Amino acid sequence: MRILVANVNTTASITESIGAQAAGAASPGTEIVPITPSFGAESVEGNYESYLAAIAVMETVRAYPEPFDAIIQAGYGEHGREGLQELFDVPVVDITEAAASTAQFLGRTYSVVTSLDRTVPLIEERLHAAGLSARCASVRASGMPVLELERDPGAAVDAIAEQAARAVEDDRAEVVCLGCGGMSGLTERVVERTGVPVVDGVTAAVTIAESLVRLGLTTSKVRTYASPRPKKMLNWPPVLG
């Protein structure tokens, strides 16, 4: 089975670390294909960049040669999953939703800890759109920008663990979802600090994508995710560099 894992940022090192994380969770026989969008922002932290990433991921995946069996959109709280579901029949799994869905099997409530305060509303909207917000205790920001997390993971871990601990104590979360890239050692540190299960979106998404493929399930095409109707397109797709 081949699973595309699409980074939303155009920074290649992030694609690599997401790919490694995904590969670590994959079953034998699953090929993980990490993808960097062919245009867009180096890091995605807000609506403009997220809308651009949405369409960049769609175009980049369209340009990738079939066959593949599932697509993972590896950005936290990003736009666009619905568009991928229209364009393809294979299952599409967003890591925000994968983490929340997994967390709900482990505790009555969960919280998300993310990077910047401005991404909190995006994550809240995404959880709502996926029908997964009822048991969300809180979405908290560590205040660390995405590229900072990449550059100095050691420093970031403390800020994230602190917010996770407050989610458990103040917001009554029973599980924590990590809404920030693939730092080594992060999960262990947050488990240590909080004593609750910690879910990483990328690895959760891999197991869910594999499960959907194994069960032979594909995206419903009756209404919301029906294939686009044939249209005349103006100046699209773009001519790139």
Between 67 and 239, whose beta carbon lies closer to a second copy?
239
Q: For 110, list phi and psi in degrees, rounded to 5.
A: -140, 160
Judged by CB under 8 A, the residue of 19, 34, 40, 201 near a second copy is 40
How far, in Å, CA of 18 to CA of 165, rounded?
Answer: 25
Q: For 199, list phi and psi in degrees, rounded to 5.
A: -110, 130
Judged by CB under 8 A, the residue of 17, 30, 101, 114 near a second copy is 101
Judged by CB under 8 A, the residue of 130, 162, 166, 171 near a second copy is 130
Site residues for a second copy, window 60-79 (CB under 8 A)? 79
Closest CA to 98 of 19, 168, 179: 179
Does residue 20 bind a second copy (CB under 8 A)? no
Does residue 114 bind a second copy (CB under 8 A)? no
In angstroms, give the least distance from the CB of 126 to a second copy: 11
Site residues for a second copy, window 172-201 (CB under 8 A)? 172, 174-175, 195-197, 199
Whole-number Cα distances in Å, 66 to 21, 33, 132, 201, 217: 23, 12, 31, 25, 18
Does residue 151 bind a second copy (CB under 8 A)? no
How far, in Å, CA of 27 to CA of 41, rounded?
Answer: 32
